[in-house]
Structure 1
């Protein structure tokens, strides 16, 4: 085969997945239809969980300082995100172009191959692999792989070619959006006027405009709207003339809501907007997709390197499909509150009153930030949830649970302080050599549940198992990391383990 995994789409989700796959030892080729990376800033909001995931891979130190905003919203109603239980509360403003550069450098530095101007036209799956046909400026090329993952957006070619069922509801409302320079209008934060909704925010000389006219039905479009259409809509809603500005890009968004019935169809999988279509309100689409990629990467890498226990790859759908459904339900509710005409004003008033209750506000803030995700059910409060950041002191140096995840391995955390326990846990890891790192340290200022002394953390940062001093991690190790001690297949003359990190 030419490669282990073909990732279709070099947006943030596809590039994140490519890096995750390389950390797991998989050979990866990314196929992208566009000739050059985007220069637009369409998806510019990163939420708390995405910042945590970037931190887990050491990417925040590369990204550098970015502006944060503690204010958020639910359907246009103010929501304080500053109290989220994370080191990265709020929303972080990072233009999509900057995010893509960060992830492209990371993934390619780890050895992922990124091929541009490759337009995928056919997918032919057999029992042993997948053959992908793509058009290029030099003619047709064919690449073989063990698996294909579509990360190619809401108009995904992979989803159509595989094919996947994509049920949902058609659009009923439309939102016009653009970035424009050379205009001087007051900032408007989800301002509902007599005839529609208007949003205006200026940063670094560029103004983001969004406008929706109440009762106006979406139209079928073969391309982006022209600037004159947005100018006219903005004038009807706000009374302001922005026609003298210079548009940088435009798009039309609608409230169509769809979710594939399965995230996996044989050897073809979907992640990000290829699997779900929704109004990208509040920046939730990119953040949902990044979580898809981090959940899938280590599992698919284990599969193609021969180290996956039974059902591991199936757990991707089992865990992420419900999260897709939950997020789409939340977005549909917000779309009604945000874009509904004045008939929803009474509902908005009730929701606004509920948001004044701290428990309600905290619950929605965690949902918006992706911090409430918990896979499965378990008696221990940590299992299935994301691992909290814990500062660690091993005696030989200081670290943290976040740093321990940088290389994309599982982590078995021993906080017992007992050398005999350390030896016992090291012996248990003999069943999964090279796949889980044992970290023995003293946790400082930890918010872990009382009595928790041993924690098994998956590569995606979610807790697989937790116990006190005497629990047996063996069953959880076998479930998530396999019991076959044989090394994985050789790829490109290297062992199938994680590659050397490049910075």
Structure 2
């Protein structure tokens, strides 16, 4: 029997598998697709944006160089990294088709930021991410079985069983990371709530007889929206039909040409279609991310439109949050209720992402009211404050879990503190343990922290910049669990450590 069976071998499932493997858990990953290099996962169709919150997770596990090395670099340009980078993100993206100017964002003006080697964003294919994580998972002893579709999930008080490919796989826990049409979600009886779609979206790769008739980039129009990508023949479209076409039939050349002409307002001709698929802005979320011994993460827990590129990043955030909590539960030193904090912390984040998607769709509708609101939003996003607001939302910089701490840094992603001349915080977390950074001159936390040896690393030293703090307790997912000024009390640290890391010495 495995400790954990993960259903779904995409980036979310594989990142979770690596987190569990790093903690010494026995893990089996079941993936229904046999091939790993389909055109939907490689460049250009498989390209996705990773932003600061997600990139930080790779950095903390020693995977930053591999991630940057595998990233898409148009024209051979290397991503800028390191403490000497300017205080501007390389890109912010768009909101509802409104392209934002990164020059309007001053990173140094945002709260609780320190220099880090991790870039603010990068473009990478799903195939590249999965290859990187598959290799790391194998190093950690994770077993991956491909071409294995799940057809049953059952559980009792002590274990769960996944039936797939004519075999039964027992585990103490099962996690569904199997996408928007999750079999685990359906088979385990999870309920989802949300909103129905407003549009059918299209992605196609083909040949246009007259591509000059389409403007490059993102183009909202009075009848929808189209995107002419940098790769020749790669087109995206949004047709506000209430999602009627999606999954109704295969999008053929005639239908794609009809939609493209309607939303672009041109008589452009589609000569050939090599690949095409549809999607919608259906926005739904599981009411809970846990039912007994079965949990959900990524698109299995929440689905929404791809506007803003939040799907992969939200899924990585789920895996990072769940991994250490499930591992502590498996190993028997989790404090009571630790696993329940996964839903409590991540469900509101998923709900925010769904609303972020809905907000964009609401002002992209082809009607006069939506266009009026979009004009106001466009003006607001042309300001530094407006663009910074979107940047913080998209990058994950605005994420703050409600952990009840008094200090405003508690619940946020930890800045990359560098104690003295030693390693940065991100480098100190490669083994998956929590870290207590002790900036005090008398190293007053050395003794108390020793009680959690194996779960916590104590690092002392005056940092390059302490942001006005005397000590910081960081969970394995990079979240600040406790922070206090130079007059901090040891008993406050001990209460926080017990809350997140269980009884000392257990």
Q: TM-score, normalised by structure 1?
A: 0.88
Deviations 1:377-418 (A, max 9, x none): 422121111101223334xxx3101111122110011122x2
Counterpart in the other structure of 2:156? 126
Counterpart in the other structure of 1:494? none
Aligned-pair CA distance for 1:476: 0.8
Match of 2:351 among 325, 346, 353: 325
Secondary structure of the structure 2 residue equivalent to 1:244: strand
Counterpart in the other structure of 1:467? 484
Counterpart in the other structure of 2:7? 8
Matching of residue 191 in structure 1 with residue 219 in structure 2:
yes
Counterpart in the other structure of 1:44? 48
Aligned-pair CA distance for 1:118: 1.2
Query: Does the Cα contact within 8 Å between 1:212 and 1:339 map onto a contact in 2?
Result: no
Matching of residue 384 in structure 1 with residue 411 in structure 2:
yes
Aligned-pair CA distance for 1:227: 4.3
Query: Does the Cα contact within 8 Å between 2:192 and 2:285 map onto a contact in 1?
Result: yes
Deviations 1:70-97 (A, max 9, x none): 1411111122346345655654211111
Deviations 1:430-473 (A, max 9, x none): 332201111122311x2x532x0211101111100012344321
Match of 2:186 among 160, 163, 166: 160
Instruction: Tell me, in whole angstroms, the C-alpha distance in 2 between the residues paired with 1:179 and 1:459.
Output: 41
Counterpart in the other structure of 2:302? 276
Instruction: Tell me, in whole angstroms, the C-alpha distance in 1 between the residues paired with 2:291 and 2:235.
Output: 39
Deviations 1:228-287 (A, max 9, x none): 43233223333254533452x322111111111101111000000000110111211110
Query: Once structures 1 and 2 are overlaid, which stretch shifts more, 341-350 or 310-319?
Result: 341-350
Query: Once structures 1 and 2 are overlaid, which stretch shifts more, 118-127 or 79-88?
Result: 79-88
Counterpart in the other structure of 2:245? 219
Aligned-pair CA distance for 1:222: 6.0
Counterpart in the other structure of 1:141? 167
Aligned-pair CA distance for 1:169: 1.4
After the TM superposition, which residues 64-83 of structure 1 pair with which residues of structure 2 at under 5 Å, given as runs? 64-65=68-69, 66=71, 67=73, 69-81=90-102, 83=105
Secondary structure of the structure 2 residue equivalent to 1:148: strand
Secondary structure of the structure 2 residue equivalent to 1:190: strand
Instruction: Tell me, in whole angstroms, the C-alpha distance in 2 between the residues paired with 1:301 and 1:109.
Output: 18
Count residues with an aligned counterpart: 468
Secondary structure of the structure 2 residue equivalent to 1:44: strand
C-alpha distance 181-411 of structure 1, shift in aligned 2 (>3 A)? farther
C-alpha distance 305-81 of structure 1, shift in aligned 2 (>3 A)? farther
Aligned-pair CA distance for 1:25: 2.0
Query: Does the Cα contact within 8 Å between 1:76 and 1:337 map onto a contact in 2?
Result: no
C-alpha distance 240-371 of structure 1, shift in aligned 2 (>3 A)? farther
Counterpart in the other structure of 1:355? 381
Matching of residue 413 in structure 1 with residue 437 in structure 2:
yes
Secondary structure of the structure 1 residue equivalent to 2:405: coil
Instruction: Tell me, in whole angstroms, the C-alpha distance in 1 between the residues paired with 2:364 and 2:46.
Output: 19
Q: TM-score, normalised by structure 2?
A: 0.87
Query: Once structures 1 and 2 are overlaid, which stretch shifts more, 260-269 or 334-343?
Result: 334-343
Instruction: Tell me, in whole angstroms, the C-alpha distance in 2 between the residues paired with 1:330 and 1:174.
Output: 18
C-alpha distance 8-216 of structure 1, shift in aligned 2 (>3 A)? closer
Instruction: Tell me, in whole angstroms, the C-alpha distance in 2 between the residues paired with 1:217 and 1:270.
Output: 26
Counterpart in the other structure of 1:491? none
Instruction: Tell me, in whole angstroms, the C-alpha distance in 1 between the residues paired with 2:164 and 2:280.
Output: 30
Aligned-pair CA distance for 1:326: 0.9
Counterpart in the other structure of 2:200? 174
Counterpart in the other structure of 2:133? 103
Query: Does the Cα contact within 8 Å between 1:307 and 1:482 map onto a contact in 2?
Result: yes
Output the aligned Cα RMSD. 2.2
C-alpha distance 478-171 of structure 1, shift in aligned 2 (>3 A)? same
C-alpha distance 400-265 of structure 1, shift in aligned 2 (>3 A)? same
Counterpart in the other structure of 2:326? 300
Counterpart in the other structure of 1:477? 497
After the TM superposition, which residues 389-400 of structure 1 pair with which residues of structure 2 at under 5 Å, given as runs? 389-394=416-421, 398-400=422-424
Query: Does the Cα contact within 8 Å between 2:223 and 2:366 map onto a contact in 1?
Result: no
Deviations 1:134-163 (A, max 9, x none): 12xxxx010100000000001000000111
